[in-house]
Amino acid sequence: VQLQASGGGSVQPGESLTLSCAASGFTLNRPAIGWFRQAPGKEREAVACLSTNNDITYYPDFAKDRFTVSRGKAKNTIDLRIDNLTPEDTAVYYCGTDLGQASSYALCHRRPTTWGQGTLVTVSS
């Protein structure tokens, strides 16, 4: 079971960015997949989770307006689109899963057991 996040980079405020999480060793038809981020000096926080058995999504309140999690165009991928980026979005973004957890809400609150490596997003002018 492996996850690999990609798509990070340096962007200017107001721009959009799409991150991709590629899953291998399992299929995206049951477990929830989540996106989390960790800013410098802060704890890791959930930004979006998706249940792959029914495509139900969960977002914490701060992420409901600008973050969108969805199945990627590539097979076995889950994307995170971030719109209207601000410097406060600067963080390392991780994707994670728990093969025994199908609920997007639960994954975002109880945290994954399997993590991919992070991808850095830097927002500055």
Using 50, 70 and 90 to split pLDDT, how confident is the model at 59? very high
Q: Residue 106 burial (CB < 10 Å; 0-12/13-18/19+)?
A: middle
Residues 2-54: tens digit of each pLDDT:
999 999 999 999 999 999 999 999 988 899 999 999 999 999 999 999 999 99
For residues 69 and 67, what is the distance between their CA atoms, to the nearest angstrom?
A: 7
Under 8 Å CB-to-CB from 59, ≥6 apart: which residues?
A: 47, 48, 49, 67, 69
Q: Strand, coil or helix: what is 42?
A: coil
The pLDDT value given to residue 27: 87
